[in-house]
Amino acid sequence: MPAVTATSAVTSDDLRRYVELLGHADADGAVDLVTELLARGVDPVTVLLDLVAPAQESVGERWASGRWSIGQEHAATSISDQVVAAVADRCRRTPTRGEIVVACVDGEWHALPARLFAEVIRLHGWSVRFLGASVPAAHLVTYLQRHDLRAVALSCSVADRLPRARRVIEAVAMTGVPLLAGGRGFGPEARWALRLGADAAAVGAREAVDILASWPAAWRPHGDPPPPVDDEHELVARRRSALVEAAGSALDTGFPGLRRSLTGPARSTLDESLGQLVDFLVAALLVDDVDLFTDFVAWTARILGTRDVPPASVDAVLGTYAAALYDFPRAQAQLAAGRRIL
């Protein structure tokens, strides 16, 4: 392996400059910066994974801590999208391997992580058809029937989409086309993807490149996934609206004036979190992993905390859900674990 020289890596100064340009919504400046890096000899995959991806993480952190508005985050992401397109344009490759379709799970709007992954594998010689955000299972299946593709790469960034990911994975399995699943929504080491029946899984694009190179040897060809433990996830999902309504009333009773006192974005973050807590509970029940739920509870408390919403209100919401779901033993256990970490 050749030694990495100072000029062939992305430096912390490059990253700082790039995030600053995103903060100023300076698209030309951002494209100029990556053009400069490519001219300096930085590998395009390094630009994508060591500049654009960590910068986007930092964008997420700034939004989470309330330092950046949603508008700033949207502007930054749109610029990173332009930057990825610019890298793709300046670094074209003649495909030497098969054709792969990359799509996001139905309801998953994080297209940029999937796009980064798609460009990385394209730079490694794969021919890529990129279908973008939120592709419903039926449309994906129709597409597979019309094109002769080597594999499907399914992207999921947020774990509350796992029930839909399961439907997509099951539908693709019927077509016989192998499916590689990836993205942070599939959990640590993408373990929930295998639980839902994916043939192979990876969190990051770099490991996925190795997995694709080893295709099909390292893949689990349509092995039957273990069935869900029971149907609690479906029964809880059906009660979503009633649960959210009960939680809203509990907040208004237990924390009078709280919701009215919040500004627009903080208020909508709190209101959305009521449904998201149910969605993550459903996903955690589906893959039977309490960490999925407790991690989200901790995340919610942190996000709401930076928006002046007390953690006790999250506890009150979980308490309301626990009372309403008294006859669901696994949901009870998850909710109790969620309340313990608050």
Using the rule CB under 6 A, is 320 a contact of ligand B12? no
- Supply the minimum distance, in Å, between the C-beta of residue 327 and ligand B12: 28
Q: CB-wise, 53 or 177, nearer to ligand B12?
A: 53
Q: Which residue stretch of 32-40, 84-92, 179-187, 216-224 sits at the interface with ligand B12 (rule: CB under 6 A)?
A: 179-187
Q: Select the residue interacting with ligand B12 from 71, 85, 95, 109 (CB under 6 A).
A: 109
Q: Which two tokens stand for residue 87?
A: 């890298």
Q: CB-wise, 64 or 213, nearer to ligand B12?
A: 64
Question: End-to-end CA distance of the chain, in Å?
Answer: 47
Q: 300-308: long-range contacts at Cβ-Cβ below 8 A with a sequence spacing of 24 or more?
A: 300/273, 300/276, 301/342, 302/64, 303/64, 303/269, 303/273, 304/269, 304/270, 304/273, 306/64, 306/65, 306/66, 307/66, 307/262, 307/265, 307/266, 307/269, 307/270, 308/262, 308/266
Shortest CA distance to 199 belongs to which of 174, 175, 167, 224?
224
Using the rule CB under 6 A, is 299 a contact of ligand B12? yes
Q: How many residues bind ligand B12 (CB under 6 A)?
A: 39
Q: Select the residue interacting with ligand B12 from 208, 281, 287, 304 (CB under 6 A).
A: 208
Using the rule CB under 6 A, is 240 a contact of ligand B12? no
Phi-psi region of 132 (alpha: psi -120 to 50; beta: other; left: phi over 0): left
Q: Which residue stretch of 176-184, 286-294, 304-312, 317-325 sits at the interface with ligand B12 (rule: CB under 6 A)?
A: 176-184
- Supply the minimum distance, in Å, between the C-beta of residue 159 and ligand B12: 6
Using the rule CB under 6 A, is 114 a contact of ligand B12? yes
Q: What residues have CB less than 8 Å from 77, skipping those under 6 apart? A: 56, 59, 112
Q: Are 222 and 191 in contact (CB under 8 A)?
A: no
> Using alpha carbons only, what angle is made at residue 233 by residues 231 and 238, rounded to the nearest 5 degrees?
100
Question: Using CB under 6 A, which residues numbered 35 to 54 contact ligand B12?
Answer: 49, 53
Q: Which residue stretch of 8-16, 23-31, 156-164, 326-334 sits at the interface with ligand B12 (rule: CB under 6 A)?
A: 156-164
Using the rule CB under 6 A, is 272 a contact of ligand B12? yes
Using the rule CB under 6 A, is 236 a contact of ligand B12? no
CA distance 263 to 119: 39
Q: Which residues bind ligand B12 (CB under 6 A)?
A: 49, 53, 56-57, 59-61, 63-64, 73, 77, 107-114, 116-117, 153-155, 157-159, 180-184, 202, 204-205, 208, 272, 296, 299
